[in-house]
């Protein structure tokens, strides 16, 4: 591991029990505040080393989450964490939106990405391969279906080592420009 890199990472889904760990306690503190603001707590990650932690809060909403909203939410979450003190020692708080190419770590992430280009790595060969790229066709309770180049591939969530959406840059003609056939013709 590189020096200065994060050593431990915990990601959680909504907690069903209180006190199961720092990430679960954080989820229970942060999620009600964000829900009241009309924002979804999309993901939560606690990473740490040497007594310092990084608390990464990923938020999402039906409309785009702009920088001003992120700043406001960051101040609100910071106040909550100061009052509740669910993280031992010092920590850095990071509040962000998922971005164009987002990690897919929970079933809800996959559900929201249906119809998008994805890239994933599996823990064991699925249809003879460990790496898949294609359109996420379905996301169900136990797994996904990716329309890969060689056809549909079904992958259980338990077999996904890592996954993310892939932003596809579409080439658009320059405004007022002529196409190649007009120039050559």
Give the pair of three-digit tokens for residue 105. Answer: 């770590």
Q: How confident is the model at residue 15 (pLDDT cuts 50, 70, 90)?
A: very low
**Domain 8-96 belongs in CATH node 3.20.80.10:** no
Classified by CATH at the fold level, domain 107-165 comes out as SH3 type barrels. (2.30.30)
Q: What is the pLDDT of residues 89-134, one digit of tens each?
A: 788 999 999 888 889 989 999 999 999 999 999 999 998 899 999 9
Higher-scoring residue by pLDDT: 133, 50: 133
pLDDT at 157 over 60: yes
Residue-by-residue DSSP string for 75-96: HHHHHHHHHH--S-SEEEEEEE
Q: Where in the chain is the domain with CATH 2.30.30.100?
A: 107-165
Confirm if 126 and 159 have CB atoms less than 8 A apart: yes
pLDDT at 145 over 90: yes
Half-sphere exposure (CA, 13 Å, Cβ side) for 58? 18
Q: Where in the chain is the domain with CATH 3.30.300.70?
A: 8-96
Beta-carbon contacts of residue 42 (< 8 Å; ≥ 6 apart): 58, 59, 60, 98, 108, 109
Q: How confident is the model at residue 143 (pLDDT cuts 50, 70, 90)?
A: very high
At residue 177, the pLDDT reads: 61
């Amino acid at each position: 591991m590189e020096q200065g890199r994060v050593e431990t990472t915990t990601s959680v889904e909504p907690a069903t029990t209180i006190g199961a760990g720092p990430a679960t306690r954080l989820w229970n503190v942060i999620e009600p505040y964000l829900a009241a603001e009309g924002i979804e707590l999309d993901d939560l990650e606690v990473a740490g080393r040497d007594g310092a932690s990084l608390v990464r809060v990923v938020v999402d909403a039906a409309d785009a989450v702009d920088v001003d909203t992120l700043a406001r939410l960051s101040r609100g979450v910071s106040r909550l964490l100061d009052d509740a003190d669910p993280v031992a020692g010092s920590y850095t708080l990071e509040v962000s939106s998922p971005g164009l190419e987002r990690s897919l770590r929970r079933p809800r992430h996959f559900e929201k990405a249906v119809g998008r280009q994805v890239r994933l790595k599996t823990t064991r060969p699925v249809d003879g391969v460990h790496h898949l790229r294609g359109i996420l066709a379905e996301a169900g309770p136990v797994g996904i279906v990716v329309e890969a180049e060689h056809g549909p591939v079904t992958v259980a969530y338990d077999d996904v080592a890592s996954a993310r959406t892939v932003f596809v840059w579409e080439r658009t003609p320059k405004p007022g420009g002529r196409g190649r056939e007009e120039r050559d013709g």
